[in-house]
Amino acid sequence: MRALELRDVSVFYGAVRGVEHVDLHVDEGEIVSLLGANGAGKSTLLKAISGIVHPRAGSIEFFGDALAKQSAHRRVRRGLVHVPEGRRIFTTLTIAENLELGAYGIQLGRGERADRLREVLEHFPILQRHFDRLAGTLSGGEQQVLAIGRAMMSQPKLLMIDEPSLGLDPQKIDIVYDMLEEVARLGTTVLLVEQNVSLALEISARAYVLQQGSIVLSGDASTLAEDPRVADAYLGKVNDVPE
Ligand SMILES: Nc1ncnc2c1ncn2[C@@H]1O[C@H](COP(=O)(O)OP(=O)(O)O)[C@@H](O)[C@H]1O
Ligand SMILES: [Mg+2]
């Protein structure tokens, strides 16, 4: 089953191109990564999928349904959750309170909230450790773990996460990536945005490489990991390399 299908999607900010003519799909259960240098259009694509920005052209389908007319809030309720760059947790609330608030915009009944919380803590015991601490006192890695835990409170069908490794030391990155693999094992499809190519390809089935708003390479993660053009895309050289 196709979890996500983008056809010919273009997003502009006024005259500035965010992304142009993007085709991309994610199958249910896959981890797919979206790679590219700073400014390539990665965050723009996630925002278009979650409904924060609106494409000028093209179509986006989520499990077969067109998203164009659905509000960002409705997309979350349907199981499409976006953990943005910078995490956006509530720093003046505890970990427990952050989790209880559930994912971005989802309202849970009391019983449901308790059940979900129990499940999330069972699957991600690391969250239990600092349960009563204010989220603002956590390290960057711990905040990222919390952001993922919070997203999982809504039992999403698709989790999109924007640069989860940014600013973290290698040990913390491992923890975050283990968590993403667990998310996938639990049946949630993952669309992962990263600048760190080798890291992302290690846990992904497939990947797309964006350069200046367009997809310049795509394929199996294992094939792309060997492809020198991936590194070239970061240096803006892909279009110069003969096929
Ligand atoms: N709010 C905005 N207003 C104008 N231009 C933007 C805005 N957000 C992003 N852009 C531009 O769109 C392009 C893609 O940006 P972005 O999607 O943030 O890239 P990435 O996430 O890959 O670093 C860049 O040229 C960026 O400057
Ligand atoms: Mg970005």
Domain parsing of the chain, residue ranges: 2-86+158-240
Q: Which one of 13, 20, 83, 162 would you pick to mutate in the ligand 1 pocket, going by the greatest count of ligand atoms within 8 A of its CB?
A: 13
- The SS3 assignment for 161 reads strand
Residue with the smallest CA separation from ligand 1 atom 11 is 18
**241: pLDDT strictly greater than 50:** no
Find the helix or strand (DSSP H, E) in which 150 lies: helix 140-152
Residue with the smallest CA separation from ligand 1 atom 1 is 13
User: What does pTM read for this prediction?
Assistant: 0.94
Query: Any idea which fold 2-86+158-240 has?
Result: Rossmann fold (3.40.50)
Answer yes or no: is the C-beta of 15 below 6 A from any ligand 1 atom. Answer: no
Q: How far apart are CA 7 and CA 1, in angstroms?
A: 16
Instruction: Please give the distance, rounded to the nearest whole angstrom, from the Cα atom of residue 44 to the centre of ligand 1.
Output: 6
**236: pLDDT strictly greater than 90:** no
- How confident is residue 13, by pLDDT bands cut at 50, 70 and 90? very high
- Average of per-residue pLDDT across 38-55: 97
> Residue 102: what pLDDT?
73
**237: pLDDT strictly greater than 90:** no
> Residue 112: what pLDDT?
83
**11: pLDDT strictly greater than 70:** yes
Answer yes or no: is the C-beta of 36 below 6 A from any ligand 1 atom. Answer: yes
Instruction: Please give the distance, rounded to the nearest whole angstrom, from the Cα atom of residue 225 to the centre of ligand 1.
Output: 26
> Residue 239: what pLDDT?
58
Answer yes or no: is the C-beta of 43 below 6 A from any ligand 1 atom. Answer: yes
> 30, 190 in Cβ contact below 8 A?
yes
The pairing of beta strand 189-194 with beta strand 65-66: unpaired
- Average of per-residue pLDDT across 200-217: 96
- Span 147-184, pLDDT tens digits: 999 999 989 999 999 999 999 999 999 999 999 999 99
Average pLDDT over the chain reads 91
Query: Looking at this protein, which amino acid is placed at residue 203?
Result: I
Q: Which one of 17, 44, 162 would you pick to mutate in the ligand 1 pocket, going by the greatest count of ligand atoms within 8 A of its CB?
A: 44
* Nearest ligand to the CA atom of 40: 1
First to last CA, the chain: 32
- How confident is residue 89, by pLDDT bands cut at 50, 70 and 90? confident
Answer yes or no: is the C-beta of 41 below 6 A from any ligand 1 atom. Answer: yes
Q: What is the CA radius of gyration of the chain?
A: 18
> Residue 214: what pLDDT?
97
Could you tell me which residues are beta bridge partners of residue 11? 19
> Residue 243: what pLDDT?
43
**90: pLDDT strictly greater than 50:** yes
Could you tell me which residues are beta bridge partners of residue 205? none
Instruction: Please give the distance, rounded to the nearest whole angstrom, from the Cα atom of residue 41 to the centre of ligand 1.
Output: 6
Q: How far apart are CA 134 and CA 127, in angstroms?
A: 12
Query: Looking at this protein, which amino acid is placed at residue 81?
Result: V
Q: How far apart are CA 239 and CA 153, in angstroms?
A: 42
